[in-house]
A = this chain, B = another copy of it.
Amino acid sequence: MKAEVFAIGTEILIGDILDTNSHFIARRLPALGIDCYFTHQVGDNLERLTGELRRAWERSDLLLLTGGLGPTEDDVTREAVAALVDEQPVVDPELEHTLRGFFAGRGYAMPERNVKQAWLLPSTRAIPNPRGTAPGWWVEKDGRVLVAMPGPPAEFTFMWEQEVEPRLARLAGGAVIVSRTLKTIGVGEGTVDEMLSPLLKSTNPTIGVYAKQDGVHARITAKAATRDDATALIAPLEAEVRRILGTAVWGADDDTLGKAVGGMLRDRGMTLATMESCTAGLLGATITETPRSSDYYRGGFISYWTELKKRWGVPAQVVEQHGVVSAECAEAMARAAALATDADFGLSVTCVAGLDPQEEKPPGTVHVGCYDRATDRASHISFRFNQGRHAVRERAVTVGLLLLRRTLLGEQPGQVIRSG
């Protein structure tokens, strides 16, 4: 079953709002066994919208629309659908009654323009919308299905969950698609691609390799009659990918790197503290995105001002000899953080995030340090990632967590291979 998705609204095309409905739908379709070939954003223009719908109606089995069901003249989704199936809308007495009741319940009269929200076509059934005034439309004609849903995400997602997805599941009832994403770090996209190349020819499941902010992901996707069958197809390939990539795999699906590394600390009953300069709290904030991170995260220091590093335990001679943006300083910061908080591990970041060099070190220079109190030893990873303030800081946090993970695994810090 082939689907095409439309988000309708001029405010999307002028960039006033970001269309997240289409992404929501796209995420849900694979598990229903429905292939999504295109998503589109179209303005509130009857002619252009009708043109796009006609083309999709010819080549796809299922059209999923959000937006344009409001009461104003701007909202033309109903008119476009009526033109598409060549039918005349009529006011449905029952819908009109519900609609007037909705307004009466709020203590005022229904504006007459709202009456078009009670329209139906001969081939249309209304889909209830308990969160708003616009019912959805379920249209079946000529072996095809069109579903029109309201644009506001709170109304749309409620209608999708309660009404549309269950109906689509019955309608599709064919194959389902299940995906499993394995997440790696410390290995480049090209290398993962090469290591997995014997598996990449597989057609069911398929494997795709993607560079992401938190490393390289290998995504295994299987198609089968049931969810269990698809999961069974994935299992042996997942085992093989894990064997090939070894400890580079740190998590799967919705795991975050902070959660994965935090889980390792929790399992060992160990604690962590941080000291950050350029990231200024982003490392701590990332670690604590995971619920119950207080089990292993003690806290830390934001040593933005150089003087504070010394005040908080970094030896003055380290700063004077190597500067604050140095591997030596990163290691001393990690050590100072652990000792000041009685934590088992200290983790640190120091870098040049701005556009100007600092201590003659170029923008994008990053040093992360990790200290292990049990052995009284520190290690570091140094790299350069000149992609602007935001990206440098995010990357520094990711590599910091990588270094902690390698320390916990007893691995060498190694060299970071840039992915992407």
Contacts and interface: CB of A to CB of B under 8 A. Distances in A.
Contacts of A38: 13, 40-42, 48, 52
Given A40-B39, A131-B387, A304 B291 contact: no
A13 B40 contact: no
Interface residues of A, number: 97
A209 interface: yes
A294 B393 CA distance: 15
A301 B291 CA distance: 20
A15 B19 contact: no
Contacts of A211: 152
Contacts of A303: 299
24 contacts: A12-B26, A12-B39, A15-B25, A15-B28, A15-B30, A16-B27, A37-B43, A37-B45, A71-B190, A72-B209, A108-B417, A111-B194, A152-B211, A280-B284, A281-B283, A282-B285, A291-B389, A293-B304, A294-B304, A297-B305, A299-B302, A300-B301, A300-B304, A302-B302
A201 to B, nearest CB: 11
A308 interface: yes
Contact of A304 (B29, B42, B299, B308): B299
A288 interface: yes
Nearest to A10: B208
Contacts of A305: 294, 297-299, 341
Of A52, A209, A285, A354, the most chain B CB neighbours within 10 A belong to A285
A290 to B, nearest CB: 9
A341 B308 contact: yes
A389 B256 CA distance: 15
A154 interface: yes
Given A15-B30, A274-B302, 9 more contacts: A12-B23, A12-B39, A13-B26, A37-B48, A40-B40, A280-B288, A293-B304, A299-B308, A301-B301
Contacts of A131: 386-387
Nearest to A39: B41
Contacts of A91: none
Interface in A251-304: 274, 276-285, 287-289, 291-294, 297-304
A409 interface: no
